[in-house]
A and B are shown apart, each in its own frame.
Chain A
Amino acid sequence: MAGSNTAVKEALKAHPAPSSVSSQEVHKWLQDFTWEFKSNRTKYPTKYNMDNNTREQFKLTAKEYARMESVKEERQYGTLLDGLSRLDAGNKIAPQWGEIMKLVANFLETGEYGAISGSALLWDSAQSPEQKNGYLAQVIDEVRHVNQTAYVNYYFGKHYYDPAGHTNMRQLRAINPLYPGVKRSFGEGFLAGDPVESSINLQLVGEACFTNPLIVSITEWAAANGDEITPTVFLSIETDELRHMANGYQTIVSIVNDPEAMKYLQTDLDNAFWTQHKFLTPFIGAALEYGSKYKVEPWAKSWNRWVYEDWAGIWLGRLAQFGIKSPACLGDAKQDAVWGHHDLMLLAYALWPLTGIRVSLPSTEDMAWFERHYPGWYDHYGKIYEEWKALGFEDPNSGFLGAIWMMQNGHGIFVDHTSSLPFCPTLAKSAVRPSFLESNGKRYAFSEPHGERMWLQEPERYEFVNFFEQFEGRELSELIQSAGGVRSDGKTLMAQPHVNTTGLWTLDDIKKINLTIPDPMKILNWQPTQ
């Protein structure tokens, strides 16, 4: 056999088979099949003119793209379905991490879903055939990512020892007070408004800035906590993100030669950064540090390296030649990076029955780690958690709920109207500078002036109904039940305030608390201040 192979090789060497046309030639040829742009203007309102001659960096044809992606799919699903299943990887995960992935994978699925629309509206808006090609490839990528993130929940649902929540987080997120923040940044931010602003939200900030800490850091933390599933999927996703970051850069390149664009670009960049930061900075930090047993690098340090130095310094530095500056809100964001995730997690603990996951208060070991990396953490947050634990935070017979403790102690919870996230003005250590106002018969809360400015400038854009407005007057156990937040016995909650297998809370335990959802913007004695 070896002899015949040699003969074939020698014959081919002497008479080479005709080679195909190179893929770059095919790409160039395909660009001739283009559209008549004079009569094909985008249907979306925009301030910008995208240059008809913008190039695309990757120059992929559909055939090359499909070949590349199919290899990635084979590696990813092959690893999950064969190697990791045989190793029982789903059951070697620290419970805290298995729980937080119920939220992370599901929330990210929303982002990928929004990104399908965002890159599609950019395809519609671009005038250059090459630029359209880049956005089109991203649309297909995002479809792939929706499937992948959903598959993480599906895989955990099959292999992780506590599937409740992985199985139906799409349903449970309807009552999760944190989820509207996802809709604002990943939904509205990625696919509404000016298409170039959407590109900045999605590609220049969401992908170029935050996928490094989100998708790369999270794989490191996952692996440290025994999770081999998340790195397998998320790193496969991240290989596509490079192309998307390049799309974001090309969006900027396509408009910067128009002097008019410079009147608008800095505003869109500042707003997009604040929109993405408001959710991503506290959420990723909380997921990593409070969803883990084994700690890696403090979130504030990761944030500083990826967001402050790499993105705001180096990445935006490349755009400085066009007059782009780092966002003016970067200083406040830096303060949030240290304390925002601790503030958000305090509220997640306070509202745990609505999260759909099993949360656990920081252990003594965790507290020491927090205090070491965030000096002052214990006096501010640690003492509260110790008090809550003593009052029966974990005990289903205690009737204790953090949210009620906060209200009784004068720590009101409000929803920031622009970011859609809850905040507590009296317990926040992040860059919270609250304001409350009344307009046209309705009261609004804002956690800081950047968001208030966005609402004042674009009130028609922020029409959202917040958690308190939506569920005002509903009794808590009834609300949880109606959202599908119980296990297969019909009474034990999916969410729990610990990761033990005994002492599980049921609907009856919540009913005993007797909490009817109030709307703080209605029940408190609000009066004009000027």
Chain B
Amino acid sequence: MPKQNWYRSEIRDEWFDKISALKSLDEGVAALKAFRAEHLGPNRTSQDLKKESNWIESRMEMRVAQLHSEQTKSDADLLEKTIDGRPAGAVCETYLARMAEIECPIAMNELCIEFRKACKPPMMPINYFMPTERELVSKLLKLRAPTYLSTPIEELRKMRGVTMISVQ
């Protein structure tokens, strides 16, 4: 991947080199999983890369997808299996089964985040990922809306575990 020169930052350059150094699919998948856990979504464990995290993730996804296609010879495998070789349909079914048991919007929110971090392409073919995410998020929207306006804000703060602060 050539370096792009229209916008440069040291962080991007550093990650560009790290991503280019990924030489095997296993290594790439592990790196992408770790990056998503640490730097993406509202439950990220680090805020350090927030400005560049989406860009870095997209470049990692490109590299992992490239390694995947180089290693996988069969179209059927690319279209029907997850990147680690499991049947994509069966994996989706496990998430949908868990969805059916959930009636709490916070728990549903967590399941949607978990699914996205674990299965967003190239981890899973888009033809399985997108319809399943649509089902999961539709349920999340339905669970949230009825009490969206009526839940006291203090209760919401408690549910999200936030700390109120002020300038001393």
Contact at B50–A456, with CB atoms within 8 Å?
no
Contact at B134–A529, with CB atoms within 8 Å?
no
User: DSSP majority for the B interface?
Assistant: helix
Total residues of chain A contacting the partner, CB 8 A: 44
Contact of A263 with B146 at beta-carbon distance under 8 Å, contacts A436-B166, A459-B42, A529-B165 already known: yes
Name which residue of chain A comes closest to B137, CB basis: A45
Residues of A230-281 contacting chain B, CB below 8 A:
263-264, 266-268, 270-271
What CA separation (Å) do A263 and B142 show in the bound complex? 9
Q: How far is the CB of B144 from chain A (nearest CB, A)?
A: 6
A407 contacts partner chain B, Cβ-Cβ < 8 Å = no
Contact of A436 among B113, B146, B165 (CB under 8 A): B165
Residues of A291-349 contacting chain B, CB below 8 A:
328
Contact at B160–A459, with CB atoms within 8 Å?
yes
Number of A-B contacts (CB under 8 A): 111
A395 contacts partner chain B, Cβ-Cβ < 8 Å = no
A34 contacts partner chain B, Cβ-Cβ < 8 Å = no
B156 contacts partner chain A, Cβ-Cβ < 8 Å = yes
Contact at A439–B166, with CB atoms within 8 Å?
no
Contact at B43–A528, with CB atoms within 8 Å?
no
What CA separation (Å) do A412 and B167 show in the bound complex? 10
A470 contacts partner chain B, Cβ-Cβ < 8 Å = yes
A9 contacts partner chain B, Cβ-Cβ < 8 Å = no
B97 contacts partner chain A, Cβ-Cβ < 8 Å = no
Mark contacts of A373-389 with chain B using CB atoms, 8 A cut-off: 1 yes-contact digit, 0 otherwise. 00000000000000000
Name which residue of chain A comes closest to B148, CB basis: A267
B153 contacts partner chain A, Cβ-Cβ < 8 Å = yes
What CA separation (Å) do A463 and B164 show in the bound complex? 19
Contact at B165–A439, with CB atoms within 8 Å?
no
- What residues on B are CB-neighbors of A366 within 8 Å? none
Name which residue of chain B comes closest to A265, CB basis: B145
Residues of B140-168 contacting chain A, CB below 8 A:
140-142, 144-146, 148-149, 153, 156-157, 159-168
Contact at A526–B141, with CB atoms within 8 Å?
no
- What residues on B are CB-neighbors of A526 within 8 Å? 165-168
B44 contacts partner chain A, Cβ-Cβ < 8 Å = yes
- What residues on A are CB-neighbors of B149 within 8 Å? 266-267, 270, 328, 453
Contact of A460 with B42 at beta-carbon distance under 8 Å, contacts A443-B165, A528-B164 already known: yes
Residues of A422-460 contacting chain B, CB below 8 A:
435-443, 449, 452-453, 456-460
Contact at A440–B42, with CB atoms within 8 Å?
yes
What CA separation (Å) do A440 and B47 show in the bound complex? 9
Q: How far is the CB of A464 from chain B (nearest CB, A)?
A: 10
Name which residue of chain A comes closest to B105, CB basis: A457
Name which residue of chain B comes closest to A462, CB basis: B42
Contact at B41–A460, with CB atoms within 8 Å?
yes
Q: How far is the CB of A198 from chain B (nearest CB, A)?
A: 12
What CA separation (Å) do A307 and B24 show in the bound complex? 59
Contact of B134 among A45, A436, A449 (CB under 8 A): A45
B51 contacts partner chain A, Cβ-Cβ < 8 Å = yes
What CA separation (Å) do A437 and B138 show in the bound complex? 29
Contact of A465 with B51 at beta-carbon distance under 8 Å, contacts A47-B145, A459-B42 already known: yes
A86 contacts partner chain B, Cβ-Cβ < 8 Å = no
A19 contacts partner chain B, Cβ-Cβ < 8 Å = no
- What residues on A are CB-neighbors of B51 within 8 Å? 465, 469-470
Contact at A439–B160, with CB atoms within 8 Å?
yes
- What residues on A are CB-neighbors of B163 within 8 Å? 437-439, 528, 530
Q: How far is the CB of B114 from chain A (nearest CB, A)?
A: 12
Contact at B50–A438, with CB atoms within 8 Å?
no
A15 contacts partner chain B, Cβ-Cβ < 8 Å = no
B109 contacts partner chain A, Cβ-Cβ < 8 Å = yes
Residues of B98-155 contacting chain A, CB below 8 A:
109, 112-113, 130-131, 133-138, 140-142, 144-146, 148-149, 153
Give me 7 other A-B pairs in contact (C-beta within 8 A), A45-B136, A526-B168 excluded. A45-B140, A46-B141, A267-B145, A440-B42, A457-B148, A459-B160, A525-B167
23 A–B pairs (Cβ distance < 8 Å), ordered by A: A43-B131, A45-B133, A45-B134, A45-B138, A46-B141, A263-B145, A264-B142, A266-B149, A267-B146, A267-B148, A436-B164, A437-B165, A438-B163, A439-B161, A442-B50, A456-B153, A457-B156, A458-B144, A460-B112, A525-B167, A526-B165, A527-B165, A527-B167
| A residues lining the B interface (CB < 8 Å) | 42-47, 194, 263-264, 266-268, 270-271, 328, 412, 435-443, 449, 452-453, 456-460, 463, 465, 469-470, 524-530
